[in-house]
Amino acid sequence: MNWHRFASPSNFKRLSARIFPWAAGGAALCLGCGLYQALLVSPPDYQQGQSVRIMYIHVPAAWMAMFVYANLALAGAATLVWRHPLAEVAGRAMAPIGAAFTFLCLATGSLWGKPMWGTWWEWDARLTSVLILFFVYLAYMALNNAFDDATRGARASAVLALVGAVNLPIIKFSVDWWNTLHQPASVMRLDGPAIHPSMLWPLLAMGVGYTLLFVVLALVRIQAELIERRLGALVQARLSAEPAA
């Protein structure tokens, strides 16, 4: 597939116009059904009680924190290797969304940790590696905006995104490599999920809803970034055309 044809803003706008209503409708449907099942239908856990309902917000946020960063790293590779202009815009658009998901993961994890572990925070491998991911997101955004030349900022932050991708397998396998308070994987397992269907299906609905919400937000932010760059180019061209006083 010739991905460079999407470098044209007009081609991207046509594609996003087709995707957006389906993604927005799917996100609303999945999140609505998922929240209804999670808050009103699914049973409380025999150990965690009603606090288990935080899981339906926390776990999909953790998934998305890693998923968005993986896409950020792919955009960084496309920026450095193929000089794809839309990849620069996509990376800039996705980073705040990923940071928001990561913050939501950390915040809801702390809310869950207080009644379960007796503490808001514990410096175990999983929590620390997710906190590092949040800081990498912030560093990516800061580095992207640190240069007057947008292309230089995009390439510098792309390098950071690729280096920071080393943290993703650490987050994923930290509960297996080290002795942590965090429970091991119960959904994405080779031998199948170790969670009852009454809890699994709302969790998966929320995961799909979060993913579609990310698509919606990313499309909106990319469109806004393209408009901002277009306006900036027009202003620069007009200033250059004006005769010096």
What does DSSP assign to residue 38? Answer: I
58-63-66 Cα angle (round to 5): 125
The answer to whether residue 39 sits within a structural domain is no
The answer to whether residue 146 sits within a structural domain is yes
Determine the pLDDT at residue 188: 55
The answer to whether residue 131 sits within a structural domain is yes
The answer to whether residue 194 sits within a structural domain is no
With a cut of 50, which residues of the chain have pLDDT below it? 1, 190-191, 245
Q: Containing domain of residue 141, as a range?
A: 56-184
Say if pTM beats, i.e. exceeds, 0.85: yes
Q: Are 113 and 155 in contact (CB under 8 A)?
A: no
The answer to whether residue 210 sits within a structural domain is no
How many domains are there within the chain? 1
Q: Are 77 and 70 in contact (CB under 8 A)?
A: no
> Measured between alpha carbons, how far is residue 194 from residues 62, 108, 171, 207 in Å?
18, 22, 20, 17
Closest by CA to 218, choosing from 4, 12, 35, is 12
The answer to whether residue 31 sits within a structural domain is no
> Measured between alpha carbons, how far is residue 26 from residues 83, 89, 97, 131 in Å?
33, 25, 18, 30
143-198 confidence digits (pLDDT tens): 999 988 888 989 999 999 999 999 999 998 887 776 666 666 565 554 455 577 88
Determine the pLDDT at residue 183: 65
- At residue 197, φ and ψ (nearest 5 deg) are -55, -30
Determine the pLDDT at residue 130: 95
Q: Say which amino acid occupies 175.
A: V
Determine the pLDDT at residue 1: 46
Concatenating the DSSP letter of every residue in 9-35 gives HHHHHHHHHHHHHHHHHHHHHHHHHHH
230-234-238 Cα angle (round to 5): 170
> Measured between alpha carbons, how far is residue 212 from residues 53, 103, 104, 199, 218 in Å?
21, 19, 17, 20, 10
Q: Are 102 and 130 in contact (CB under 8 A)?
A: yes
Q: Please tell me whether residue 225 adopts helix, strand or coil conformation.
A: helix
- At residue 130, φ and ψ (nearest 5 deg) are -70, -40
Torsion over CA of 69, 71, 75 and 81, rounded to 10 degrees?
Answer: 100
The answer to whether residue 229 sits within a structural domain is no
